[in-house]
Structure 1
Amino acid sequence: MTTTVSDLLSAAERLRNALADYESFLNGWRGASETLSNDDHATPAERDTTMQEVTQESGAEIANDVLDRYHVASDAVARYVQRARDRRHSDWSEVVDATEPVRKATLAVHAAGYGTHPETGERDYLLPAELCPARRLSMNAGSSPVTFADRTAQYRAVANRFGIDADVVYHPGSGHDVSPSVAFPEAGVTYVDADVAAMDDLAAAGYAARWGDATDYSVAGGADVIILRNAGLVEEAIVERNLRAGGWVLANDHLESAHHVAGMDRIELVGVVPDDWPGVTPRIETTDLDSPYNEREGKVAAQAGPTDRTGSPLDLHVFHERTHRGHARSNNKEPP
């Protein structure tokens, strides 16, 4: 099914209308209750029980409609982006511009039902789960900043192997994962995610976290390292917008991030860190790293991954700019 710019605009409009209905419901809900609560079983204060049930049931229907239209809009963007990928030489700035109305509307859904509590002043989910699209979309609800020892070890191994001395690291779609801050302690690490609660938690803990649309976000001055792990974003646009000259991209393929980055002409795959490694130090494979592209008609082979090697979608793929290929190899250290 071909998705056009007109289709994207229609999907964005339908989602905005659903959000407007949701906001109208919230205004009525707030007006009917003296306080808001983030308790899953909370009900408005001093209301008739029957009226409470009717109001909450109708609110759940409205929230469900928002989420249904959110997924339809997101699918439309995915189809449009895939068509751009099939062309291989797309102008990613045009793709970002065409999808912007949908992405702005979907970002608003991630904030629906989240805000500042009027009594405590704390940022939190303000409604029961069934009425709160933001809570239902979040994959990190109730979490705190977390580091993963295996991810930290992979990043450190890559930095040592290729002599990467990063000043700025960008981790879009991070959720609560702050492993890059441990792996690159001397760098400024920027985290961007649509999950507003996750970004609030990271910011409160002192990390440079921004709630927003990572596809359209620009790191001031660009990044030396971009980390794409389980991101499911428009990776090509992120790399084009933010990667500094001579920069590095670290990506796994759980949501095909490595596959998408590998298709960029300016990028070269220079190493793979297996997800499961024996011993303490991750090993890094730097040979037999073949292209994922089937050169027939210049299209991606449906079954291809970032390389022809047998591996896991959670393997970490190391990419570097082709224009700095010689420099990258001269900086390589011997494997540990």
Structure 2
Amino acid sequence: MVVTVHDLRSKADQLLDALDVYDQFVKEWPYEPGEVPDRIEGYLAELDSDTSGSGSSPEVTFATEVKRLYYEACEAEATYLQQARERGQPEWSQIVTEVEPVRKAARGVHTAGYEIDSETDELDYRLPRELCPAHLVSMNGGSSPIIYEDRVTQYQAVADCFSLSPEIVYHPGSGHDVSPSETFTESRVVYADIDEAAMTHLKRAGYEAVGTDATKYELETDADVIIFRNAGLLEEAIVAGNLQSGGWVLANDHLESAQHLARMDSLKLVGVVPDVWTGSSAPVETRNLGAYLSQLDPDQEHSKQFREPAQKPVDSAGQSCTSPAAIEEEDEKEATLGDTRNALNPGRTTGGSESGVPTTKGTPLDLYIFRDVS
């Protein structure tokens, strides 16, 4: 189905109308029987008649309807972005403007029912979860920052292999995940997410976190490293607006972030860290990258140039990594691009317990390492 700008505005308007009614619903919560304003009661009654037999109260049905409209709008936006990518090299600043109505409405959902508590004077969910759209759409189950040890190990492998010591690390779409801070301990790490509750929790724990739509947000100083992890963002616009010249981008492909980045002329794939490995440190694959690229972007030739790191890379075990620049010519000879034009393979095999290097090239949870070559 083709999605137009008109369709995006229509989805956004439907969601904003529901949020307008929900705001009135929250203001006077809790209600005594018979005291619900007519407009809200009419909206709830209509929803209840449409879902008769569901067993849910009108209030729960209302919150669920807001969530449904939210996901419908997000799906329309995702389809529109995919259409833009398929057209090739779109003007991303224009695309950001065109999807702005949906992005604005979506952010409204992430604050719906998440407000200043009058008793504690702190931000919190005002209503029970089943009545609170902000809680229903949050991807974060807990209230504390989360550190994923496997991600820390992957980031450390990248930092060691390419001798990275970034001043600024930017993690848009982070949710509660603060794993980068465990690796880049001397860096300023900035987290940004549309989930206001998640960012509030991070700020309370002492992290630099911004509750915002990362698609339009720009750092005051460009980042040396940007990380995309299960974020599903408009990566092209974020990289264009926030990455230092010669900077690095780390991404997995669970929500196709690595695929989108691989199609950017300004970026070059220089390495891959597998999602599984043996031993305490993760390997960094810098050979046969054409095989990875042919899966991320099978319709393109992969001859983009990149800058060689200023220092010889060293892996997380203290051993030399092969420089991507030194092996690029060998990669082009060894990679059989025609045999790997398929979707990302969810399977995984390795080259043995000693190497831990995958022989199956590319899975959605591998960490792809890109460098800016603009």
Shared topology, TM-score over 0.5? yes
Cα distance between partner residues in 2 of 1:114 and 1:29: 13
1:225-245 Cα offsets, whole Å, 9 max, x none, are 000011111111111111110
Cα distance between partner residues in 1 of 2:298 and 2:116: 51
Map residues 285-324 of structure 1 onto 2, 5 A cutoff: 285-290=285-290, 291=293, 292-295=296-299, 303-305=342-344, 309-323=360-374
Map residues 4-15 of structure 1 onto 2, 5 A cutoff: 4-15=4-15
Give the counterpart letter for 1:318 in structure 2: I
**Alpha-carbon offset, residue 311 of structure 1:** 3.6
| SS of 1:215 mapped into structure 2 | coil
**Alpha-carbon offset, residue 105 of structure 1:** 0.4
Give the counterpart letter for 1:294 in structure 2: P
Give the counterpart letter for 1:293 in structure 2: D
| SS of 1:23 mapped into structure 2 | helix
Cα distance between partner residues in 2 of 1:103 and 1:206: 28
Match of 1:21 in 2: 21
Indicate yes or no: 2:128 matched with 1:89.
no
Match of 1:260 in 2: 260
Match of 2:163 in 1: 163
Give the counterpart letter for 1:252 in structure 2: N
Equivalent residues of 2:272, 2:284 under 8 A apart: yes
| Normalised TM-score (structure 2) | 0.75
Equivalent residues of 1:236, 1:260 under 8 A apart: yes
| SS of 2:182 mapped into structure 1 | helix
1:172-201 Cα offsets, whole Å, 9 max, x none, are 111111111111111111101111111101
Indicate yes or no: 2:246 matched with 1:246.
yes
| SS of 2:29 mapped into structure 1 | helix
Q: Which runs of 4 or more aligned residues in structure 1 lie more than 3 Å from their structure 2 counterparts after TM superposition?
A: 30-33, 294-298, 301-309
1:136-195 Cα offsets, whole Å, 9 max, x none, are 111213330121222111111111111222011100111111111111111111101111
Q: How many residues align?
A: 299
Residues 205 and 148 of structure 1: is their aligned pair in 2 closer, same or farther, counting only changes over 3 Å?
Answer: same
Match of 1:273 in 2: 273
Cα distance between partner residues in 1 of 2:223 and 2:73: 30
Match of 1:111 in 2: 111
| SS of 2:285 mapped into structure 1 | coil
Equivalent residues of 1:227, 1:250 under 8 A apart: yes
Cα distance between partner residues in 2 of 1:177 and 1:24: 33
Cα distance between partner residues in 2 of 1:163 and 1:280: 19
Equivalent residues of 1:129, 1:135 under 8 A apart: yes
Cα distance between partner residues in 1 of 2:69 and 2:26: 18
Equivalent residues of 1:289, 1:309 under 8 A apart: no
Structure 2: tracts of 5 or more residues without a match:
34-55, 303-339, 346-357
Residues 178 and 200 of structure 1: is their aligned pair in 2 closer, same or farther, counting only changes over 3 Å?
Answer: same
Cα distance between partner residues in 1 of 2:32 and 2:192: 35
Residues 285 and 114 of structure 1: is their aligned pair in 2 closer, same or farther, counting only changes over 3 Å?
Answer: same
Cα distance between partner residues in 2 of 1:245 and 1:308: 32
Give the CA RMSD over aligned residues: 2.3
Equivalent residues of 1:173, 1:193 under 8 A apart: yes
Match of 2:122 in 1: 122
Residues 297 and 284 of structure 1: is their aligned pair in 2 closer, same or farther, counting only changes over 3 Å?
Answer: closer
Give the counterpart letter for 1:303 in structure 2: N
Structure 1: tracts of 5 or more residues without a match:
34-55, 324-336
Cα distance between partner residues in 2 of 1:6 and 1:297: 35
Equivalent residues of 2:298, 2:342 under 8 A apart: no
Cα distance between partner residues in 2 of 1:26 and 1:66: 13
Residues 68 and 321 of structure 1: is their aligned pair in 2 closer, same or farther, counting only changes over 3 Å?
Answer: same
Residues 237 and 141 of structure 1: is their aligned pair in 2 closer, same or farther, counting only changes over 3 Å?
Answer: same
Match of 2:201 in 1: 201
| SS of 1:214 mapped into structure 2 | coil
Match of 1:44 in 2: none
| SS of 1:245 mapped into structure 2 | strand
Equivalent residues of 2:245, 2:373 under 8 A apart: no
Cα distance between partner residues in 2 of 1:269 and 1:80: 26
Residues 186 and 68 of structure 1: is their aligned pair in 2 closer, same or farther, counting only changes over 3 Å?
Answer: same
